Protein backbone atom coordinates (compact mmCIF):
# COMPACT_ATOMS: atom_id res chain seq x y z
CA UNK A 1 0.00 0.00 0.00
CA UNK A 2 2.85 2.33 0.68
CA UNK A 3 4.11 1.97 -2.90
CA UNK A 4 0.69 2.99 -4.31
CA UNK A 5 0.57 6.12 -2.21
CA UNK A 6 4.12 7.02 -3.28
CA UNK A 7 3.30 6.44 -6.96
CA UNK A 8 0.16 8.50 -6.64
CA UNK A 9 2.04 11.39 -5.10
CA UNK A 10 4.66 11.16 -7.88
CA UNK A 11 1.85 11.27 -10.44
CA UNK A 12 0.32 14.27 -8.75
CA UNK A 13 3.72 15.96 -8.78
CA UNK A 14 4.02 15.32 -12.52
CA UNK A 15 0.57 16.80 -13.18
CA UNK A 16 1.38 19.77 -10.98
CA UNK A 17 4.70 20.24 -12.78
CA UNK A 18 2.94 20.14 -16.18
CA UNK A 19 0.42 22.75 -14.99
CA UNK A 20 3.26 24.97 -13.78
CA UNK A 21 5.02 24.52 -17.11
CA UNK A 22 1.87 25.51 -19.03
CA UNK A 23 1.38 28.56 -16.81
CA UNK A 24 5.01 29.56 -17.31
CA UNK A 25 4.74 29.08 -21.06
CA UNK A 26 1.62 31.25 -21.15
CA UNK A 27 3.32 34.04 -19.20
CA UNK A 28 6.48 33.80 -21.30
CA UNK A 29 4.41 34.13 -24.50
CA UNK A 30 2.71 37.23 -23.08
CA UNK A 31 6.09 38.78 -22.26
CA UNK A 32 7.50 37.93 -25.70
CA UNK A 33 4.49 39.50 -27.41
CA UNK A 34 4.86 42.66 -25.31
CA UNK A 35 8.53 42.91 -26.27
CA UNK A 36 7.69 42.39 -29.96
CA UNK A 37 5.10 45.16 -29.79
CA UNK A 38 7.52 47.53 -28.05
CA UNK A 39 10.21 46.91 -30.68
CA UNK A 40 7.71 47.31 -33.52
CA UNK A 41 6.44 50.62 -32.08
CA UNK A 42 10.00 51.84 -31.51
CA UNK A 43 10.84 51.24 -35.16
CA UNK A 44 8.35 53.92 -36.17
CA UNK A 45 9.76 56.36 -33.63
CA UNK A 46 13.35 55.98 -34.77
CA UNK A 47 13.03 55.02 -38.44
CA UNK A 48 9.72 56.50 -39.58
CA UNK A 49 11.17 59.02 -42.04
CA UNK A 50 14.62 58.47 -43.49
CA UNK A 51 16.95 61.48 -43.38
CA UNK A 52 17.52 63.33 -46.63
CA UNK A 53 21.16 62.20 -46.69
CA UNK A 54 20.02 58.56 -46.78
CA UNK A 55 17.65 59.29 -49.66
CA UNK A 56 20.43 61.02 -51.60
CA UNK A 57 22.82 58.14 -50.93
CA UNK A 58 20.30 55.63 -52.22
CA UNK A 59 19.81 57.68 -55.39
CA UNK A 60 23.56 57.76 -56.01
CA UNK A 61 24.18 54.11 -55.14
CA UNK A 62 25.06 52.18 -58.28
CA UNK A 63 23.74 48.90 -56.92
CA UNK A 64 20.17 50.15 -57.29
CA UNK A 65 20.27 51.18 -60.93
CA UNK A 66 21.63 50.00 -64.23
CA UNK A 67 24.02 52.13 -66.23
CA UNK A 68 23.66 51.79 -69.98
CA UNK A 69 26.46 52.51 -72.40
CA UNK A 70 29.21 51.10 -70.19
CA UNK A 71 30.95 47.85 -71.02
CA UNK A 72 29.80 44.91 -68.91
CA UNK A 73 33.39 44.24 -67.76
CA UNK A 74 33.53 47.50 -65.83
**What does the alpha-carbon distance between residue 51 and residue 61 come to, in Å, rounded to a whole number?**
16
- Are 58 and 64 in contact, with CB atoms under 8 Å apart? yes
Q: Could you report the per-residue pLDDT of 39-72, keeping only the tens digit for each?
A: 998 888 877 777 778 778 877 877 766 666 666 6
Q: Could you report the per-residue pLDDT of 8-48, keeping only the tens digit for each?
A: 566 667 677 777 878 889 999 999 999 999 999 888 887 77
* pTM given for the model: 0.44
- Sequence-separated contacts (24+) of 70-73 with Cβ below 8 Å: none
**What does the alpha-carbon distance between residue 8 and residue 6 come to, in Å, rounded to a whole number?**
5
Phi, psi of 67 (to 5 degrees): -105, 120
Radius of gyration of the chain (CA): 30
Amino acid sequence: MKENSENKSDGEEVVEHENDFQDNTYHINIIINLIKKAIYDALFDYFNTPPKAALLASLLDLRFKKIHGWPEEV
